[in-house]
Amino acid sequence: MIKAILFDCFGVVCLDDFAGLYSHFGGDIESDHQFIHDVFFSVSKGEEVSAAETFSKHLGVDVEEWRRVARDKKELNMSLLEYTEELKKKYKIGMLSNVGQKGLRFHIDYDTVAPYFDVIVESAKIGFAKPEARAYEIAADKLGMRLDEIVFTDDRIQYVEGAQHVGMKAILFENTEQFKRELEKIL
């Protein structure tokens, strides 16, 4: 029986367009896939690495310009957040985000987002990042649930597969309406 829904932040709760950002500055998301993955994973594990500085240096652009354009490409997914209010009547609601040491407060309007969730788990603070099993296990512990009592959603297939590997039900997030349809089938 499902008792909790666990959401990713970037690409789900906070819509961002990293591919658009990267290509805006001349980067090739396909050919740099491994480089991008490695940078995000290092940051998410809490290493002393700045994604903005690393990407801007790699692409030869000013880091402040990178940050400005990145901010412009982010917006909260308010329709999803409103849906969590409905879900919260019957389920625990959590967020598990791969994020660096500066935390979610540095990247999103945390005070707006936080009330929608019973639990928010930030990877750099726990020392484990998706798709590491321990990241999902810690989130489940904080929710007070077993892994098989949770549905997880993320916009990255490797993180969805990581959740499935530890026993969670999981949905690859494409958009809010698609997520709702797939979640209703599970619930």
Task: Please state whether beta strands 75-76 and 14-15 pair in parallel, antiparallel, or not at all (unpaired).
Answer: antiparallel
pLDDT tens column, 134-180 = 999 999 999 999 999 999 999 999 999 999 999 999 999 999 999 99
Facing residues of 96 across strands? 121
The 8 Å CB, 24+ separation contacts for 133-141 are 133/162, 133/165, 133/166, 135/96, 135/98, 135/162, 136/96, 136/162, 136/163, 136/166, 136/168, 137/166, 139/6, 139/94, 139/96, 140/4, 140/6, 140/168
Q: Please, what are the domains in the chain?
A: 4-15+75-186 (3.40.50.1000), 18-72 (no CATH)
Per residue in 27-70, pLDDT tens? 999 999 999 999 999 999 888 889 999 999 999 999 999 999 99
**Predicted TM-score of the model (pTM):** 0.91
Share of the chain above pLDDT 70, in %: 100
Question: What is residue 90's predicted lDDT score, i.e. its pLDDT?
Answer: 98
Measure CA 76 to chain center: 12
**For residue 101, pLDDT beyond 90:** no
